[in-house]
Structure 1
Amino acid sequence: MGYIIGVDIGGTFTDCIVIRTERSASGEDIATVRIGKASSTPPDFQTGFVNALQAAAEQFGVGLAEMLDNAQGIYHGCTVGTNALVEHRTAKVGLLVSRGHRDSIFIMQAGGRLKWMPAEYIAHVAAQTKPDPLVPKHLCEEIDERIAFDGKVVVELNEEAARAAIGRLLEQGVEAFAISLLWSTVNPEHEQRLKAIVHEMAPNAFVSVSSEVITRTGEYERTIATIVNSLIGPPMDSYLAQLERDLKGLGYRGSLQIMSCSGGLIESGHARQLPVLTIGSGPVAGLIGAANLANGACTGGDGNIITADMGGTTLDVGLISNGRPISRATASYGQYEYFVPTLDVRSVGSGGGSIIRSDGESLRVGPESAGARPGPACFMRGGTRATVADANLVLGYLNPDYFLGGRIKLDVEAARKALAEAGAPIGFGAEQAAAAAARIVDNQMADAIRLTTIQQGYDARDFTMYAYGGAGPVHATAIAREIGVRRVVVPLSNFAAGWSAFGVASSDALVVEESAVAMGYPFDPEVINRQWATLEERVTGRLLAQGILRDRIGIERYADMRYAVQVNQIQVRAPDAEKYDAATVAELVETFERDYERLFGKGSGYADAGFALTALRVRACAPLSGLKLDAVDAASAGGSVSPKSERPVIWYEHGLAPEMTSIYDGGALGVDDRIDGPAIIEYPDTTVVLRHGNRARIDATGSIVIDLAAGNE
């Protein structure tokens, strides 16, 4: 008997999915799944982590020490770095740069600075501003040195001046250093020497070196990545060190694997050195889980999926095209774009804890959230401001006596009072405010999904939506109606509430290596072949060092390309040919042109200008837990499709008059059972809302597949 454990920390709850595998008397392997939830405990997130483990152990009827002693592995979606940035609980960072280049991070890049901003902000040029600098100028020191583009040392490192600069930063209380020198991607000699000097002068300081963070040409983006890594380095290092000590004290003897934003697991030690790789990893885990389930199970659709992960704080949106999650070569923090390969997950401040307020003229929802502390008013934990969860309760979507299987009792009157106060400035009562807030948040999320698909060159109507997270299945059918999606899947029914934790547990070990190149067309196949060989040797070696067998390692290749006279650089999937020749290079160029037109519009390319190859990247993956999501038996024997009860529900699209609505016990439903909306399906941890015209069925994995009628209102 063994346990596979996945843990994901959210803004409101920490989710723990545990899969227990055991051999039956007949020799068959039996997998049992349980979900444990606990309130997140910022800033000491390890407390909520352990509490979620304890809750899952109780579901199995075993002690926590016994479960950890028999754990095959613990896989963690870690949001500590993300939260540190959002809440400005970061380290005080000093920046070391080449002489004459201190201002590059303050000048910024106009395109990158505006790239992720709303359209109305971009259009209003007079209102555009630069964000606060990540590192103030008085904490930026210029270093006398210079390396040329070909790696030759033009000016030797002035170590005496460097020591003086580092000393000045230490006197100002700097606790972490970011080192980013020109052309260090070609020759990192000076960066490595500076790192050694910092460690001599401040042995406990956290140090990030740009040539170790990302080996890609592009001074500004590489510097920002290095700064972000140092900003979150100390809090992440402290958190993971404490968590590992706690787990060891509780009896866990294995290693801790951390989810990365690139879509795979990395060792805890690697995450402590490069925490920038973990930013946004929780939502990425859900995307990976959705791809794994869709590729292994018959849930309908053709591998084109929109993922909608709605938790307490945000809605996180990802895309899967033809079974593959969409990725990009850069990440962003506010208006700062930086080099880190990541799966493309976009977030909007709409969640169950999003606060409802009035400005005297209209009602607004989010992006501010009540979070885990104090939480929504109905949680009775000190929160008094109305939230989306309060609106869902007053509308009748949530059962006040069965939230989280009855583990949390919800106060309807507290929710009504908070909503009435929020709506009072515009003359709305509690029900009106709840209905308006629900409509607003559903449309905000629909807009976010529509924008995400359009920016990637896709039509949302061609996709199936996978809805998960604590609030995703409550809102999914309303969102889908708004954007024209015809099918919604709630993966593994009750376990959708902890789906990102499931995604973490089913993820592969991942190593990414890349190399900066500067090559014009026609590309030299032999140079490309040598680069692939070097990169693949490095990624394979790192996985072999983890004890992974060579025949379990899979390799994927990517290239960053652009037109020679255009600025829009994109990542494309490179051919998997054993040796590149002229035909393979032509195939790579064709892929680039096709992807470019998908992103920027037909006819937007300019092949006559030629092509530029700027980076090559290799991803190496290997299974760790061996968990196959389509093999998880989440379906019950069931057979009963009779409602367990009725309650009045306000369907805002049909007015404010409550309608008696059938309530179904999800645990009593079996494979192929069907339910027509309007109806609500209740599981201990997940509530699924079916609107008028919806039809739900239970598939072989226990997932709920919802078909929306054409023209549904």
Structure 2
Amino acid sequence: MARIGVDVGGTFTDLVLEITGKSDRAGVFVHKVPSTPHDQSVGVLRGVLEICELAGVHPRDVTMIVHGTTVATNITIEHNGADVGMLTTRGFRDILHIGRHKRPHNFSLQFDVPWQSHPLVRRRNRIPITERIMPPDGTVAIALAEDEVLEAAHLFKARGIGSVIICFLYSFLNDAHERRAKEIVQSVLPDAYVSCSSEVVNVIREYERFSTTAMNAFVGPKTALYLNNLENKLREAGINAHLRIMQSNGGVSTVEMCAKRPVSILMSGLAGGVMGGRWAGAMSDARNVITVDIGGTSADFSTIPDGQVKIMNPRDTYVGAYPVLAPMIDMATMGAGGGSIAYIDEGGAFRVGPRSAGADPGPACYGRGGTEPTVTDAQVVLGRLDPDQFLGGGIRIDAELSRRAIKEKIAGPLGMTVEEAALGIIRILNSNMSLAIRANSVAKGFDPRKFALLPFGGAGPLNGVALAEAVSAREVIVPPAPGITAAIGLLVTDMQYEFTRSVLTVLKDVTQEAVGRLNGVIDELTTQCRTSLEDDGVPAYRQRFVRIAECRYHGQGFELRAEIPDGAVTLENVERIKTNFHAQHRRDYGWSFDDVDVEIVTVRIIGIADTPALQWPELPAGAVGPDADALMFVRRTTFDDGKTYDTPRYDRSHLKAGNTLAGPAIVVQRDSTTLVPPGYRARVAANGNIHINRHTA
């Protein structure tokens, strides 16, 4: 029995295959193939077949494939989603245009308002419908004008619109009008991608609810097409494995669910790295870790305190400039990676990123026509990446092309040597990334001195020590397969389904009627979770449920999560919800108002099917000094202090538990390269992690 994790990045598609059971071939295999941006499924299928061949596994023996994808993310970045039609309550046609009347940059005269300049639904396609549901109990004040819905559906058909959203006011209290409108639209447009706001995000706040539903329909058709196409290609190749998709919240779900609610996978490609980083830290009993995932195009950072992955507050869950009320792991992302382009801007400033050379043409050293210098080219010039060892020798790179690009674009215009310019590229990159790490840790109340920095991705371990120095992290932990860690994260993730419902309840002097209404919502959402898990073949003994009340102080604008105690909510235990909210408020803000009324806004039930974590094989024990066959060769290498040293290269596959390497040293493996600067020591743990600390005599 085998299962595969496959993570698509901007430059490479990473794969990990685990063989489980009593097979003599039980173990873990890793692989990388170039990404295929024109159609990610091509690279995914190629990688799956190649890693099966590498592991000696027949494709039909693969039982599960977990996929992290950037398809939905790329659609939002490139603004090339579906042409969406919208039905909304008469008088509220311009909610998506007005937003919250917030200026992105308060003091700028040239600022752009993305939700207006790049609307998810053009105004001509936002059709007002006569209907009205009223709070607080969802009473129908004005019946749905079905003839107007039918007329709008025919208009959409005439305009060739194949994606439609239905967003009526207060549908989270009563969704009857949305459901009926959907039936009418589908009678006219049977093949259309139709989303109701009550199906996508059944919560309060009309702008955020409308925006989330609009995003769902904007990315939905292409995302659903990709997921279904990938599933079909795998079947045609004889791979009958269950295909699961990583969600933004760090859980996995089915193709069917993600095709219906693609807003849940907008951060799919990033979440796997965080989960993989937590897994690698846990192997070394490091519960406080800062994950640093540096690939070819971007860098992602997340702070994990006490082993708990943080979920962003609803007020912060934006994709681009659009609010999306879908649970997402709290992380920071920036355009910084191996393919990030260095350039001199119009003002003469030396900059790096966010533009990237990507997979095609890639860095100049790839010899595929790229002429602009990248971070990878800088690493090659400094001697940190060996041309004959890149990707285990799988890709030959030309150091002279790197030198030429840096000389022509940076060194010459700025009057520097090529080496000075290359070192400048690395320093600028690290400075930019350290600011992002502080924003995700210090700015949110976490002291990096108590955290281990965990760098991974193809480029992460090259920058790990420099970033740890910049933010004062206590140590650096490099996972066993850094370039594949995001893919590993896909195999250490539980299946999750989440359902929400807004049910405004002030907990001061709460009545039995209000408690009964709250329990009714909890039971209904739990049943929805249980049904989804059962439909996916998850037995009852593997199911567990997390119950969340999203609360605020009465009068506040946004909520924080507080756990709901087990069992039915009663007048006696409702105080525990308030206590949990106060504690969360203190963790996030450093203080709480214990005497102010607490209000539940939304109930969220998370149904989880626990998944066994991937078991990385332990290394054999070795001496303090590595075996002779671990030393590959010695080459001149320039480090961040500007000095050049004769630096030994060690083959990571020949390192054993207990081996200690004194810097300067470089550890080479097929999927990444680890830099150990002068003054540092690297120790290999039995679990395969490498711990790097400053050497003290």
The interval holding the TM-score normalised by the smaller chain is over 0.9
SS of the counterpart of 2:38? coil
Pick one of 413, 420, 426 that aligns with 1:425. 413
Which residue does 2:543 correspond to in 1?
553
Which residue does 1:5 correspond to in 2?
4
SS of the counterpart of 1:23? coil
- Quote the offset at 1:526 in angstroms: 4.3
Alignment partner of 1:245 is 2:232: yes
Pick one of 302, 314, 317 that aligns with 2:301. 317
SS of the counterpart of 1:327? coil
- Residues 30 and 526 of structure 1, relative CA distance in 2, 3 Å threshold: farther
Distance in 2 (alpha carbons) for counterparts of 1:455 and 1:585? 32
Distance in 2 (alpha carbons) for counterparts of 1:338 and 1:258? 19
Alignment partner of 1:454 is 2:437: no
Pick one of 421, 433, 450 that aligns with 1:445. 433
Distance in 1 (alpha carbons) for counterparts of 2:52 and 2:665? 33
Distance in 2 (alpha carbons) for counterparts of 1:245 and 1:575? 41
Which residue does 2:252 correspond to in 1?
265
Q: Higher mean Cα deviation, 637-646 or 131-140?
A: 637-646
1:489-514 alpha-carbon deviations (Å, 9 max, x no partner): 112x2x22111111112211111111
For 1:561-576, list aligned pairs within 5 A: 561-572=551-562, 574-576=563-565
Alignment partner of 1:700 is 2:686: yes
- Quote the offset at 1:637 in angstroms: 5.8
- Residues 580 and 161 of structure 1, relative CA distance in 2, 3 Å threshold: closer
Q: Percent identity?
A: 33
SS of the counterpart of 2:325? strand
Alignment partner of 1:403 is 2:393: no
Which residue does 1:364 correspond to in 2?
351
Pick one of 221, 230, 243 that aligns with 1:256. 243
Which residue does 1:76 correspond to in 2?
67
- Quote the offset at 1:582 in angstroms: 5.0
SS of the counterpart of 1:322? helix
1:554-602 alpha-carbon deviations (Å, 9 max, x no partner): 2212221112233242223x04432434564333223322322333344
Distance in 1 (alpha carbons) for counterparts of 2:618 and 2:367? 32
Q: Higher mean Cα deviation, 553-562 or 283-292?
A: 283-292
Distance in 2 (alpha carbons) for counterparts of 1:466 and 1:435? 23
For these two proteins, the number of residue pairs brought into alignment is: 681
- Quote the offset at 1:446 in angstroms: 0.8
- Quote the offset at 1:255 in angstroms: 2.2
| TM norm structure 2 | 0.93
Distance in 2 (alpha carbons) for counterparts of 1:648 and 1:54? 39
SS of the counterpart of 1:544? helix
1:415-465 alpha-carbon deviations (Å, 9 max, x no partner): 111111221332233212210110011111111010011343212222112
Which residue does 1:59 correspond to in 2?
54
Distance in 1 (alpha carbons) for counterparts of 2:693 and 2:476? 7
Pick one of 333, 338, 360 that aligns with 1:352. 338
1:635-687 alpha-carbon deviations (Å, 9 max, x no partner): 356653553321111113x22x4221121111111111111222110012121
Distance in 2 (alpha carbons) for counterparts of 1:55 and 1:319? 34
1:212-242 alpha-carbon deviations (Å, 9 max, x no partner): 1111111111111111111111111111121
SS of the counterpart of 1:277? helix
Distance in 1 (alpha carbons) for counterparts of 2:296 and 2:434? 17
Pick one of 649, 674, 686 that aligns with 1:663. 649
Q: Would the aligned equivalents of 2:622 and 2:658 in 1 still touch at CA under 8 Å?
A: no
Alignment partner of 1:31 is 2:31: no
Distance in 2 (alpha carbons) for counterparts of 1:142 and 1:42? 38
Which residue does 1:180 correspond to in 2?
167
Distance in 2 (alpha carbons) for counterparts of 1:519 and 1:30? 56
Distance in 2 (alpha carbons) for counterparts of 1:127 and 1:636? 61
- Residues 672 and 30 of structure 1, relative CA distance in 2, 3 Å threshold: farther
Distance in 1 (alpha carbons) for counterparts of 2:534 and 2:544? 12
Which residue does 2:206 correspond to in 1?
219
Which residue does 1:496 correspond to in 2?
482
- Quote the offset at 1:408 in angstroms: 0.4
Q: Would the aligned equivalents of 2:292 and 2:456 in 1 still touch at CA under 8 Å?
A: yes
1:500-542 alpha-carbon deviations (Å, 9 max, x no partner): 1111122111111112111113255544433333222221221
| TM norm structure 1 | 0.91
Alignment partner of 1:21 is 2:42: no
Q: Would the aligned equivalents of 1:634 and 1:703 in 2 still touch at CA under 8 Å?
A: no
Which residue does 2:589 correspond to in 1?
600
Alignment partner of 1:535 is 2:525: yes
Q: Would the aligned equivalents of 1:36 and 1:54 in 2 still touch at CA under 8 Å?
A: no
Distance in 2 (alpha carbons) for counterparts of 1:584 and 1:386? 62
Alignment partner of 1:591 is 2:580: yes
SS of the counterpart of 2:470? helix
Q: Would the aligned equivalents of 1:577 and 1:584 in 2 still touch at CA under 8 Å?
A: no
Q: Would the aligned equivalents of 1:556 and 1:618 in 2 still touch at CA under 8 Å?
A: yes
Q: Would the aligned equivalents of 2:281 and 2:454 in 1 still touch at CA under 8 Å?
A: no
- Quote the offset at 1:488 in angstroms: 1.5
The code of the aligned residue for 1:683 comes to Q
Q: Would the aligned equivalents of 2:291 and 2:303 in 1 still touch at CA under 8 Å?
A: yes
Q: Higher mean Cα deviation, 521-530 or 422-431?
A: 521-530
SS of the counterpart of 2:303? strand
SS of the counterpart of 1:162? helix
Which residue does 1:118 correspond to in 2?
none
Q: Would the aligned equivalents of 2:280 and 2:689 in 1 still touch at CA under 8 Å?
A: no
The code of the aligned residue for 2:578 comes to V
Distance in 2 (alpha carbons) for counterparts of 1:709 and 1:600? 37
The code of the aligned residue for 1:130 comes to V
1:287-342 alpha-carbon deviations (Å, 9 max, x no partner): 222333444x3x143x1111111111111112222111001253211222221112
Distance in 2 (alpha carbons) for counterparts of 1:526 and 1:153? 23
Distance in 2 (alpha carbons) for counterparts of 1:690 and 1:678? 6
Alignment partner of 1:512 is 2:498: yes
Distance in 2 (alpha carbons) for counterparts of 1:636 and 1:221? 54
Distance in 2 (alpha carbons) for counterparts of 1:185 and 1:597? 30
Distance in 2 (alpha carbons) for counterparts of 1:462 and 1:376? 36
SS of the counterpart of 1:173? coil
- Residues 673 and 143 of structure 1, relative CA distance in 2, 3 Å threshold: same
1:105-150 alpha-carbon deviations (Å, 9 max, x no partner): 1111256x75xxxxxx56x454544112222211211111111121
Q: Would the aligned equivalents of 1:422 and 1:433 in 2 still touch at CA under 8 Å?
A: no
Q: Would the aligned equivalents of 1:638 and 1:668 in 2 still touch at CA under 8 Å?
A: no
Distance in 2 (alpha carbons) for counterparts of 1:246 and 1:568? 44
Distance in 1 (alpha carbons) for counterparts of 2:474 and 2:41? 40
- Quote the offset at 1:607 in angstroms: 4.6
Distance in 1 (alpha carbons) for counterparts of 2:312 and 2:6? 25
Q: Would the aligned equivalents of 1:560 and 1:616 in 2 still touch at CA under 8 Å?
A: yes
The code of the aligned residue for 2:532 comes to R
Which residue does 2:380 correspond to in 1?
393
Pick one of 132, 137, 145 that aligns with 1:158. 145
The code of the aligned residue for 2:64 comes to G
Q: Would the aligned equivalents of 1:560 and 1:570 in 2 still touch at CA under 8 Å?
A: yes
- Residues 428 and 195 of structure 1, relative CA distance in 2, 3 Å threshold: farther
Q: CA RMSD in A?
A: 2.1
- Quote the offset at 1:361 in angstroms: 2.1
Q: Would the aligned equivalents of 1:97 and 1:140 in 2 still touch at CA under 8 Å?
A: yes
Which residue does 1:478 correspond to in 2?
466
